[in-house]
Structure 1
Amino acid sequence: MGFLTVVSVLSLLHVAHAEFSAVRRVALGPRVRETAVIPAAEFSVPISAKTPRRSSKKNALAALRGRTPPTKAPPTGGSSTVAVDGSDFDEEYLTNVTIGGQHFSLIIDTGSSDTWVPQKGFNCFDLDENPVPESTCAFGTAGFDKQASKTFKPFPNVSFNITYGDGEFLSGPVGFDTVQIGGFSVSQQEIAVPNLAAWEGDGVNTGLIGLAFPDLTSVYNTTDPTKASGENQLPYSPLFLSGVKQKKVANPFFSIALSRGSFDQQENDPFDPNLGFLSFGGIAPVPVVNTAVTIPIEGYSATTGIPNNGPGSDFFFYTVNVEGYTFPGSNHVVTANNNTILDTGTTLHFVPTPVIEAYAKQFKPPAVLDEDFGLYLVACNATVPPLSVQIGGKSFTIDPRDEILPAGTDDEGNIICITGTQDGGPNVAEDIFILGDTFLHNVVATFNPVAGEVTLTQRAKY
């Protein structure tokens, strides 16, 4: 999900960022750090579901390939490692969250920062801003009931407003409440409870947990969401950073291990239980090998919007420097870039055009770009070329099972497959590339947003 916000956020950075009331962070460097010693997590919850792929996700891929996304204003009117589930044919990872005593399955997103759940009785719209029945938005519950929470407090005279790159939007009130994920509980957390939503849901999730930086939050000092802008943005502490401030963990780490489902599950079963862990205070509890590295997170220049760790850089995403992609024939193309985001909310792995063009040719038979869909299609039984990603002087391998994914059926009922690695656009400084679930299935990603760094650890084969 996070990748849907990338284009719009960096657009704001170019146009109005000088007027943001955002917290500035000190430049990070050096580029590689001594590998952090990370304790076992204090709290872990299973990722308990993945939600079926929303049609909007397919449309949003166009935004990643450098096309201009549509811009829509809303219409007027007991343990701290939690299991991760999977639905969405293994497209979006969810976990169980309690807000004000009410239970929801929320998308885990390292590519955005807001935690939101629509309020009960919200107004649903289609992507053309036409009112439609509430059921069309297809949330997993009726929404958050403010009246039923004993701990909810409204935040007056502000509003939440977010538009994703595919045209989905949410807007409305903001408040504070207790948010609990397993044994990790944060009191008076700022959350959005939108009453307007254009959402192409899956019948499972009822919102999202954003785990990125404060500068990426979407609350504004206006009661009219249509007037939200960089001038009146009110950055606030996302859920995990609030927990750190409240000393809910001894160490400022959160860690994610996303497990792949089988090909059959991805194609036929919209819900997979126990697809990894979301952990707080340390590393997620899955088997790993010795390959690990701690690297600084890349900031963005306030004037150019290009990754930069100079003074005054702003931090939105978990952006890392990729030193290269290694596969047969990779020595013939330049594969390094430093505008690559670690994003649990993106299923695929989006790399520069020259990289995917060279890599696609190595499948047997070769993967082929479908101009209509803008995706590389591949035979479901193709032989996958080996692929690894070099970060911080370490090489992280991607399992071949992550490189062939079912993507529906054709008119004759035959399964169509796509490659797990896709085209993210030309290899230019302003383009954004993404290490999504194709990559994250193969590592444990442990984030330290306080120190501005992330530790990647290769997972053992599973």
Structure 2
Amino acid sequence: MLLSLTFPLLALGALLPIAANNAPEVTRDIRVRSPIAFSAASPLVKTTNYLTLGKKDRHNPRAASSILAKNSSLISLFGSAQFDTNVTFGDQTFELLVDTGSSDTWVIHSDFTCVSQTTSALLTQAACASGPAYTKTPEFVQIPDENFNITYGDGEFLTGILGYENLTLAGITVNTTIPIVDFAAWDGDDTSSGLLGLGYPNVTRAYVGTDPHNDSVHAFYDPIFTTMYKQGLVAPMFSLAIERDLSGPAGYLALGGLPPVDFMEEFTSTPIVITRLANTQKYPVEYDFYSINMDAVVLDNVSLPSAANGTAYSYLVDSGTTLNYFPTELADAVAAAYNPPAIHQPDDDGTYYVDCNATAPGLGLTIGGTTFWTNPIDMIQVSGTDDDGNDICVSGIYNEGSDPTTDKFVLGCTFFQECSCCI
């Protein structure tokens, strides 16, 4: 079965699993709307343009007429928790994390400063565990009176400068705006050098001025994929296909079409919704994240409502998040259905700890009238080891809370492994 989720401007399709920062905090109130699409969905056409890459491990997991299409294969990190792909900056090629939940494509600079996430104390560059660093090319042109400033959901934060550089992804080259990070609190994997953000322009994190401590006015810009389709180099869609068999590529990122994998041509569609965000200039009239509504959650063949008090929760489709982040009432129900039940420590975060040999419940997510079942393998994930070297396992579902004004519900890699998504 193949899921195609059709979204305004872009199309989201899903395929079968294949053989010390001071930036304004973004919060969300409860209002969500689904406007009429202002662009028809792109044809779901497979492309043969792709690259085959290798795989890596992380230290820790994080939080689709004629079509122009290119592909880049993905590298699995920490099993299949996150994914890398190659991006070339000028004549320098780096491996970047692929993230549909953010928009900035940044790379670490050769003279960056590494600091602690918790205290901002100075650390060695090696402590940030970054991959090879970028050196400015003669073609790089810095943008005056702007700075880059971002904090991610797991507490990592970065600042730096912005400029124009020639970027190449899957054989497509554009001159586009990029942040160059010179100050970082980052938990890297020793190989990836930054992040490939595939979100909308309204989620970019450039600000007017040169002092990150005084950031208040956004300087939104077109990220790499937006630049590509505005220049007519690709159709306005991209797709991710995740490979469960890790003996080969971990999957593919296809620009402007479907990845070169086998699938059943059965699609389901759902609209991207606009979530109203506070403390920003343009919301809620423009798109921000790839957010969708779920019809229901099916737990051991029992359908549970995905909304509380008649108000639907929106879920961010985010390849950069390891787990699915559910509202408390749904997360608790899933945890109780493990045998033995998963355990949530009251003084801990939203993680549920589970016996590595437990039996996972049957979990399905109903989207656009079609239920997508989660493989039990993805419901129990190894997160580390204890002092005796025994595996510590967690549920694939995280308790994010139940306040839509502050809590961000996410369909992360636990979801992506069940389908290939076209956005």
Output the TM-score relative to the length of structure 2: 0.83
Gaps of 5+ in 1: 15-25, 62-78, 263-271, 306-310, 448-462
1:167 is matched with which residue: 152, 155, 159? 155
Equivalent of residue 195 in structure 2, options 208, 212, 236: 208
Larger helix proportion, structure 1 or 2?
1
For 2:361 and 2:297, how far apart are their aligned partners in 1? Answer: 12
Q: Does 1:295 align with 2:301?
A: no
Match of 2:363 among 380, 387, 391: 387
Who is 1:28 aligned against? 35
1:66-215 equivalences in 2 (<5 Å): 80-127=70-117, 128-141=119-132, 143-146=133-136, 149-186=137-174, 188-215=175-202
> Once the two structures are superposed, what CA deviation does each residue of 1:21-69 show, in whole Å capped at 9, x if it has no partner?
xxxxx96238xx99864111364344643441447x3xxx5xxxxxxxx
Partner amino acid for 2:141? K
**Aligned residue pairs: how many?**
387
Seen in structure 2, the aligned counterparts of structure 1 residues 350 and 160 have a Cα distance that, compared at 3 Å, is: same
CA contact (8 A) 2:42 2:237 kept: no
Is 1:83–1:277's contact at 8 Å kept on the other side of the alignment?
A: yes
Aligned partner of 2:240 in structure 1 is 256
Say if 2:26 is the partner of 1:10: yes
Shift in CA distance, 103/273, structure 1 to aligned 2, threshold 3 Å: farther
Q: In structure 1, how many angstroms separate the alpha carbons of the residues matched to 2:134 and 2:414?
A: 33
In the alignment, what sits opposite 2:8? none
| Alpha-carbon shift at residue 138 of structure 1 (Å) | 1.3
Sort the Cα spacing of 1:46 and 1:322 in 2 relative to 1 into closer, same or farther, 3 A: farther
Aligned partner of residue 107 in structure 2, secondary structure: coil
CA–CA separation in structure 1 for the residues paired with 2:394 and 2:34: 39
1:262-313 per-residue CA deviation (whole Å, 9 max, x = no partner) reads: 6xxxxxxxxx8610000011012222234422222111225699xxxxx953
| CA–CA distance in structure 1, aligned partners of residues 403 and 302 of structure 2 | 15
Q: 2:198·2:223 contact (CA, 8 Å) conserved in 1?
A: yes
Q: TM-score, normalised by structure 1?
A: 0.77
Distance 1:248 1:126 in 2: 40
Contact 2:26 2:279 in 1 (8 A): no
1:180 deviates by 0.9
**Cα–Cα, structure 1 residues 281 and 208, in superposed 2: closer, same or farther, change >3 Å?**
same
Task: Name the counterpart of 2:331.
Answer: 356
1:460 is aligned to none
Aligned to 2:46: 40
Secondary structure (helix, strand or coil) at the match of 2:305 reads: coil
**Residues 1:377 and 1:303: Cα distance change in structure 2 (over 3 Å):** closer
Q: How does 1:405-416 map to 2 (within 5 A)?
A: 405-416=381-392
Q: Per the alignment, do residues 322 and 34 of structure 1 end up closer, same or farther by CA in structure 2, a change over 3 Å counting?
A: farther
CA, structure 1 residues 172+435, in 2 after alignment: closer, same or farther (shift >3 Å)?
Answer: same
Secondary structure at 1:113's aligned position in 2? coil
| Paired amino acid for 1:242 | T
Per-residue CA deviation, residues 203-239 of structure 1 (Å, 9 max, x unaligned), is 011100111111111111212222111xx21111111
| Structure 2, unaligned runs of 5 or more | 1-20, 64-68
What is the CA RMSD across the aligned residues, in angstroms?
2.9
The 2-side partners of 1:354 and 1:116 are apart by: 37
For residues 287 and 53 of structure 2, the distance between their equivalents in structure 1, rounded to whole angstroms, comes to 27
Amino acid at match of 1:10: V
* 8 A contact 2:99–2:197 mirrored in 1: yes
Which letter does structure 1 place at the counterpart of 2:187? E
Secondary structure of 1:424's match?
strand
